[in-house]
Amino acid sequence: MNLFRAIYTSQPFGFDEGILGGILIDARRANLRDGVTGALICRADVYLQWLEGPEDMVRATLARIKRDDRHLEVTLHVAEPVTERVFGDWAMLHDPAATWIWTQKEVADGAVERATPAEITGFFLRLRRPA
């Protein structure tokens, strides 16, 4: 099986605990069905999501997210073949965007648009191996 990784950011629309819970339930159900694993970092001003699995399933997941009105300004930062999963044990690991990602002011000032693939990847690798 050819593994593929995609990392995107989006702006939440109507963010609250109920909407986030719905996103996580939908993601976990679809990801289990499609063989996709990953992680979601989120808060009221930004979502960052790491998806990995069969390329066709990851791309189908991205297409679903782009159609989802709970996500605005979906931006793909990383899309690449990989040899192994990083979050293979998680249908969707959720992290409530601890203070080590951008501040709300940095997001408002365009940090997401300026982010490098390495910077965004690093956020997730830190989730996997907490400091």
Of residues 1, 91, 98, 110, the one with CA closest to residue 50: 91
CA R_g for the chain? 14
Is the per-residue pLDDT at 78 higher than 50? yes
| pTM check: above 0.85 | no
Q: Token pair for residue 42? A: 């989120």
* Cα 50 from Cα 123, distance rounded (Å): 10
Q: Hey, what domains does the chain have and what are their CATH numbers?
A: 3-128 (3.30.70.100)
Task: Tell me how far apart the alpha carbons of residues 113 and 115 are, in angstroms, rounded to a whole number.
Answer: 6
> How sure is the predictor about 83, in pLDDT bands with cuts at 50, 70 and 90?
very high
pLDDT score recorded for residue 27? 81
**Rounded distance between C-alpha atoms, residue 16 and residue 124, angstroms:** 22
